[in-house]
Amino acid sequence: MSWRASAAILSGFLLLSGCAALVGGDGPRASEEERRAYAAAVSQQADDPGAAERAFTEFLARFPSSVLADDASKRLGQIALDQGDEDLALRRFHQTLSNYPDSDSVDAVRIAIARLEHGRGNALAAAAMIKQARLSRLNVVEQREAFRLMLDVSDDPARKLRWLSRLRRAERDEDAVALVDVEIDTLIQKMEAIDLFRGAEQIGRQIPAGRALLQAADLSLDQGEIDRARRAIKLASKLPLDDLYQARLITVSERLRLRDEGLSFDAALPRIEDLADLGGADTAGAEGTLGVVLPLSGPFAHFGEESLRGVLLAAGIFGADDGTGPPDTRRVRVMIRDSAADPEQAARAVRELADLEVSAIIGPLLKEECEAAAAVAESESVPLLALTASEAVSAGRPHVFRVRTQPREEVALLVDYAVRELGAQRFAVLYPRDTYGRGLRRMFWEAVEEQGGRIVGVASYDPNAVDFAEPIRRLVGFVLLTSEEKQALEEREALERRARRLPAEEAAALRLVGQAMTGPNGELLPPVVDFDVLFIPESHEKVVLIAPQLAFHGAEQTRLMGTSGWHHSDLVKIAREHVEGAIFTTHFPVSSELLFVRSFTDGYRRAYSQEPDVFAAQAYDATNLVLLQLTGFSFGDDDVRERVRTGILAVRAHPGVTGVLRMQPDGNARKRPFLLRVERGRIVAVE
């Protein structure tokens, strides 16, 4: 850090700690003459530091015992720092400590000295000064600076983690907390298990103790230290964890269970193009009875009905056979029950179907009803393929499987493509401040760190926002501009607001005027876009609003990336050239030319005279996973359910229409979704 940057940081928090005696409080008050002299000196500090220096020196000579004397002494050090004279600043700060040891601002001065010493490479002197500072006497801004300094001077990873934890608690801005989270996760990834345990012990029940213990558990399992992993999991389970780390707790717990049973998780999935020549799932000759539990009434009936169509198509019940191919040899019965999205009704339906000797059950959809259904399915030893994203549903239940694509899988694919195919190294995130946005932000960061990339920008916005100028400005560095440039930007933004109310052609012309505007020096207003990829975890409805505003603020050359919520024809119809080159995932590429996808889409159109959606597609995949296990034996076999269960567990690279699927030993499907790109105004397949 340069001396100018250090001076700016220190000046800010030193100013905050110097006004108590001036404005009043419970302690001694300055006289009217002292207040006038002090205020006169302060008023000159910004515009004429030389005059301010003389005024503060005169003040100390006239009022050496004033309650404002310590602040005047401190400001002399600050003036020296602002002018780049670190030696003089240090001398003056030390004089403040020596002359006013009982001052209420000496702790802020100690932190200022420590920062200067650290910047000069004197780590021991900095550490010694920090130890003397009483953190409880600092305000929040000063505490943040102190925690950052303690983090910088420490060479013990466990103590670094402790200071990061305290820094996180001291931050008030969500984006600042997110950046600290990146530091925390980066540090945790580099720590040894023993240091992770020490760090968690120092932190107590605060964040990120649970994260540290989960990482210690994973490391211990990698190293074969089973007892140590068991202890870490036990400790982590008693700590507060958000949804993302609750899911990780479930995963590492399953790793431990599978390790105890001599099993392991599998390697990477094949790419889509590796399976491009495969047709649909060959379920000819399948025999058996399938149970289906879906919300067919109530507010979620539409999704249940779409899912049911996928099941019936896979089972050959409705019109999949167009009469041009070989006869359908499947002998599959389907028994359907309505869950009405009610957990109790879903549980009753599963119990009823289990009594009717179904081979397996497809569904339900929603998290709560899936949990209730899974509990009964496990007790009845009947395989159940839940169509939910909740990984917890299969935890500790050998007969329960989850087949829906996870957001984590989408993010991992995007980052892998960005790094390997695009050569991207610097990433930014623009996300909504809701559960989905925060979760995707964190997943994206983790994926970037794992691939060796860097997060260099982050900004968030209200989920109901339609104007994204402020977060975009933070992303592209407008906070670094002068006041005159900022005024010019405000004028440009006024043009943008006008443009939104005009017809398309007039709006485009007005935006060109705005983009050509110059600052006070006659040069174009320059955004500072220092990232290769901008990730926006949003729906297409919001992306079509965000993308033009990115272009307006000079970020049009940045590669945009997003998740499956982007996949809609309106993305290119409305955002047009502003999303050209964008890359995003999809759970189901309805227009794909892959043989196994076309087999499904063509059959669905013949059967139902409409386009399939992702709910039909994932139910179709789940049904085929069961039917593949029901080929080659008859209704009379006693071990049908066990054969289905073990067969699904053995699936390694199923070419599903919702992505390549591999079943993990814990019952959670790993899937490789599809990648799409906007190319010449059209959405096309990447793979």
pLDDT at 134: 84
Q: What is the pLDDT of residue 654?
A: 87
According to CATH, the topology of domain 408-477+527-586 is Rossmann fold (3.40.50)
Kindly indicate the confidence band of residue 484, based on its pLDDT and cuts at 50, 70 and 90.
Answer: low
- Is the Cβ–Cβ distance between 552 and 514 less than 8 Å? yes
The per-residue pLDDT for 655 is: 87
The string of pLDDT tens digits covering residues 596-617 is 899 999 999 999 999 999 999 9
**Which amino acid does the sequence have at 24?**
G
Predicted confidence (pLDDT) at residue 449 exceeds the cutoff of 80: yes
Select the more confidently predicted residue: 508 or 677: 677
| pLDDT band per the 50, 70, 90 thresholds, residue 13 | very low
User: What integer pLDDT is reported at residue 428 of this predicted model?
Assistant: 92
Kindly tell me the burial class for residue 95, based on how many C-beta atoms sit within 10 Å of its own C-beta (0-12, 13-18, 19 or more): middle
pLDDT digits (tens, 9 = 90+) for 167-205: 999 988 888 888 888 889 889 988 999 999 999 999 999
The more confidently predicted of residues 526 and 538 is 538
Q: What is the CB neighbour count within 10 angstroms for residue 419?
A: 20
Name the band, by pLDDT with cuts 50, 70 and 90, for residue 119. confident
Helices (H) and strands (E) in the chain, counts: 28, 15
Q: Which of 9-23, 643-657, 670-684 has the lowest mean pLDDT?
A: 9-23
Mean pLDDT of 300-310: 97
Q: Return mean pLDDT, the chain.
A: 84
Least confident of 63-77, 370-384, 574-588: 63-77
Whether 314 contacts 360, CB under 8 Å: no
Of the chain, the percentage scoring pLDDT greater than 90 comes to 42
Report, in angstroms and rounded to the nearest whole number, the Rg of the chain calculated over CA atoms.
Answer: 31
Task: Write the CA distances from 2 to 553, 605, 656, 663, integer angstroms.
Answer: 29, 65, 55, 53
Name, of 103-117, 130-144, 668-682, the range with top average pLDDT: 668-682
Q: Which pLDDT score, from 0 to 100, does residue 558 have?
A: 87
130 Cα distance to chain centroid: 34
CATH number, domain 272-404+596-645:
3.40.50.2300
Residues 612-631: b if buried by 16+ CB within 10 A, e if exposed: bbbbbbbbbbbbbbbbbbbb
| Residue 480 pLDDT class (50, 70, 90 cuts) | very low
Q: How confident is the model at residue 277 (pLDDT cuts 50, 70, 90)?
A: low
Task: Collapse the DSSP code of 416 into the 3-class scheme (helix H, G, I; strand E, B; otherwise coil) and give the result.
Answer: helix
Q: What is the pLDDT of residues 496-537, one digit of tens each?
A: 666 666 666 666 665 566 555 555 555 544 455 678 999 999
Neighbours of 153 (CB within 10 A): 23
CATH homologous superfamily of 3-153 = Tetratricopeptide repeat domain (1.25.40.10)
Above pLDDT 70, what percent of the chain? Answer: 83
CB hemisphere CA count around 132 (13 angstroms) = 18
Decide which of 514 and 90 is more confident: 90
Query: Does the pLDDT at position 678 exceed 50?
Result: yes
> Higher-confidence residue: 319 or 627?
627
Ranges 23-32, 72-81, 238-247, most confident: 72-81
More confident residue, 635 or 363: 363
Lowest mean pLDDT among 106-110, 302-306, 327-331, 653-657: 327-331
Cite the beta strand spans of 376-468 per DSSP E.
384-386, 400-402, 426-432, 454-461
pLDDT value for 432: 95
Backbone angles phi, psi at 670, to 5 degrees: -100, 130
- Domain residue spans of the chain: 3-153, 181-260, 272-404+596-645, 408-477+527-586
Q: For residues 653 and 542, which has the higher predicted lDDT (pLDDT)? A: 542
Copy the structure tokens of residue 146: 């102190």
Domains 3-153 and 272-404+596-645 share a fold: no
Residue 482 has pLDDT above 80, yes or no: no
Residue 635 pLDDT more than 60?
no
Strands 659-663 and 533-535: unpaired
Omega cis (within 30) before 471: no
Mutual angle of helices 193-203 and 157-170, in 10-degree steps? 40
pTM for this structure? 0.67
Give the length of the chain.
687
Tell me the pLDDT band of 384, cut-offs 50, 70 and 90.
Answer: very high
pLDDT category of residue 260 using cuts at 50, 70 and 90? confident
